[in-house]
Structure 1
Amino acid sequence: MGSIGFAVRWSPWGSGYAGAALEALLGYAFTTVGLHRVWAGHEPDNVASGRVLKRSGMYLEGTRRQDVFLRGAWGDTIVYAAPAPEWLPDTAR
């Protein structure tokens, strides 16, 4: 199992770079490294990251409640995942 995270400078937002990089990383994780499952999470306010994760073929698993302490407060994480058997058949995106 592996996890993926990303941070993109604001100037190229909406250009598709994050999605293309994420799909390439997922392909590498499953086909070259041989991972069975990859997950990623984002802050609830960051809906754009959720859209990128969903478009890459990951699916919404749920919300981890109060699991991260950030900027002086506890917050939630929205979790997406992709098991290799479900993601690999769709790699012709």
Structure 2
Amino acid sequence: MRHVEISGKRLRLREVTTTDVDALHAVYGDPTATEHLPFDPRTREEVEEIVAQALEAARAEPRRLYVLAVIDLDDDEAIGVARLHIEADHPHSAEIGLGLRPDHWGRGMGTDLIRLMLMFGFRDLRLHRIWGARSPANTAAQLAMLVAGMVEEGRIRHHVRARGAWRDSVVHSALEDEWEGHRDV
């Protein structure tokens, strides 16, 4: 198992542990935090299962899934979760996803988090392409992805079903040779 820990100026990413269930539930279980995510709010038991699956995935060879706790360096508190999933058929490409507690929104944390994920994927994992999808209504995620250096690629129509309805997704990506790894994160 490869232990992951990466730090920026305001955030640190580390492997999730069983002690993170409550912190992750504060994101995954919150209707506001999950408003634009492709699933309904999760129960605490569902978050426990997500953490258990993340711990199992961390032991896999080759490792394809990284589920990381997002730590605010100001108070050393877990404030969110970040995922990076390497595609089995395309091992140089990965999808990222993230969620932060709403009380940390509007402070540029999402942009910092995306930059850390890009740095981890390109520098540490030697990926070629990293992509993520967002709800078309999530303009904060759009801004964070663009400011972090991702490019908007297009829309996938009726991509996910959440809250009883089909929803489109807008895809953003970054490529290894376009990534500006010298940026401060």
For residue 150 of structure 2, what is the aligned residue in structure 1?
Answer: 58
Counterpart-to-counterpart distance in 2, 1:25 and 1:44: 21
Counterpart-to-counterpart distance in 1, 2:175 and 2:168: 23
Which 10-residue stretch deviates more, 75-84 or 8-17? Answer: 8-17
Residue 70 (1) aligns with residue 173 (2): no
Structure-1-length-normalised TM-score: 0.92
For the aligned residue pairs, the C-alpha RMSD in angstroms reads 0.9
For residue 32 of structure 1, what is the aligned residue in structure 2?
Answer: 124
The residue identity in structure 2 corresponding to 1:39 is W
**Runs ≥4 residues deviating over 4 A:** none
The residue identity in structure 1 corresponding to 2:139 is V
Pairwise CA distance, 1:5: 0.7
For residue 91 of structure 1, what is the aligned residue in structure 2?
Answer: 181
Question: What is the aligned residue count?
Answer: 91
For residue 140 of structure 2, what is the aligned residue in structure 1?
Answer: 48
SS in 2 for 1:45: coil
Higher helix share: 1
Counterpart-to-counterpart distance in 2, 1:61 and 1:9: 27
Pairwise CA distance, 1:92: 2.7
Pairwise CA distance, 1:91: 2.4
State the structure with bigger RCO (CA 8 A, min sep 6), 1 or 2: 1
Pairwise CA distance, 1:15: 1.1
- 1:34-83: per-residue Cα shift (whole Å, max 9, x none)? 11100001111111101000010000000000111111111100110001
Counterpart-to-counterpart distance in 2, 1:30 and 1:7: 21
Which 10-residue stretch deviates more, 1-10 or 52-61? Answer: 1-10
Gaps of 5+ in 1: none
Counterpart-to-counterpart distance in 2, 1:63 and 1:9: 26
The residue identity in structure 1 corresponding to 2:150 is M
Counterpart-to-counterpart distance in 2, 1:92 and 1:36: 17
Instruction: Decide which structure has the larger Cα Rg and report it.
Output: 2
For residue 98 of structure 2, what is the aligned residue in structure 1?
Answer: 6
Pairwise CA distance, 1:14: 1.2
